[in-house]
Amino acid sequence: MSIALRGLTKVRQIGVLRLGLAVAASVRNRLLHAIYRFDPWHMTGTYYARPYKAHAVALIDSLKPETVVEIGVGLGDIIGRVTCKRGVGIDLDAHVLKAAAWLLPGNIHLKTADFSQAQDLVAALSAEGLAKIDALVLINWIHMIDFQQITQSIDAIRKVMPVRHVIIDAIKPGIAGYRHHHSAADIGTLGDIVRSVEADEVRTLHLVRVSVA
Ligand SMILES: C[S@@+](CC[C@H](N)C(=O)[O-])C[C@H]1O[C@@H](n2cnc3c(N)ncnc32)[C@H](O)[C@@H]1O
């Protein structure tokens, strides 16, 4: 697809104003990338370019959470816009977290850990001394993880602190290029799906009220 056609398609998706903001955010992220060398996805996958992020912020804010943990936080486009007392952003890429530290407010702490390494993940969260997690956010990378591993890591967290809600995306059936398409039935094993939002062409966001153990 030519650059002009790509631009027109994007304008149709997000509008002119958001496209301008997306370009500005992309320039900022390119500068950060030149310094920190994180995954190039973050240069263009900005808040304004990706409508799913605003849907996620609205879903999380609807819970009026005190404590929010986002795993796979990237540059913090989602957690940085949520209203909460305390936030913890976790990512396995230490480079992107160094850049995110410039962008996020002081109530958001950042830690390096891999969601799939449950022990390390729990150690990182325990070090933050959270009494509970009101919203555990897993968006736009969780499709790379087998659902059994998702359950295992969430259960490991729940052994040390209560998790009230999970906000998770699932790739729609039939969309090619993604490792896993977690079904609503899979996600329903975590608790009650209380809201689902068609967040963009490829993903549905689910808000899950976690069952009390
Ligand atoms: C596509 S970005 C999305 C960032 C953010 N969730 C958003 O939507 O703006 C995915 C992020 O997840 C991180 N990630 C991928 N696998 C992970 C894992 N197993 N544990 C922790 N972070 C992970 C990547 O390093 C990357 O920063």
pLDDT digits (tens, 9 = 90+) for 22-48: 899 999 999 999 999 999 999 999 999
Mean pLDDT of the chain: 95
Closest among 168, 173, 208, 213 to 52, alpha carbons compared: 168
Region 120-137 average pLDDT: 96
Q: Is the C-beta atom of 96 inside 6 A of ligand 1?
A: yes
Number of independent structural domains in the chain:
2
Q: How far is CA 108 from CA 61, 115, 132, 176, in A?
A: 15, 18, 15, 34
Same domain, 131 and 150: yes
Q: Which tens digits make up the pLDDT trace of 41-88? A: 999 999 999 999 999 999 999 999 999 999 999 999 999 999 999 999
Region 186-193 average pLDDT: 97
pLDDT confidence band for 160 (50 / 70 / 90): very high
Same domain, 124 and 33: no
Q: Which tens digits make up the pLDDT trace of 93-109? A: 999 999 999 999 999 99
Q: Is the C-beta atom of 116 inside 6 A of ligand 1?
A: yes
**pLDDT at 165 exceeding the cut of 90:** yes
Residue where one domain finishes, among candidates 49, 66, 86:
49
Task: Kindly give the distance from the C-alpha atom of residue 91 to the centroid of ligand 1, in angstroms, as a whole number.
Answer: 6
**pLDDT at 10 exceeding the cut of 80:** no
Same domain, 110 and 152: yes
Which range marks the domain in which residue 160 is found?
51-210
Closest among 141, 110, 136, 134 to 124, alpha carbons compared: 110
Taking the whole predicted model, whether its pTM rises above 0.85 is answered as: yes
Residue where one domain finishes, among candidates 49, 69, 87:
49
Q: Is the C-beta atom of 14 inside 6 A of ligand 1?
A: no
Q: Is the C-beta atom of 74 inside 6 A of ligand 1?
A: yes
Q: What are the tokens at 179? A: 């490792």
Same domain, 42 and 58: no
Is the separation of the CB atoms in 87 and 78 below 8 Å? no
CATH number of the domain to which 109 belongs: 3.40.50.150
Same domain, 107 and 20: no
End-to-end CA distance of the chain: 50
Instruction: Write down how long the chain is.
Output: 213
Same domain, 27 and 92: no
The span from the CA of 123 to the CA of 140, in Å, is 23
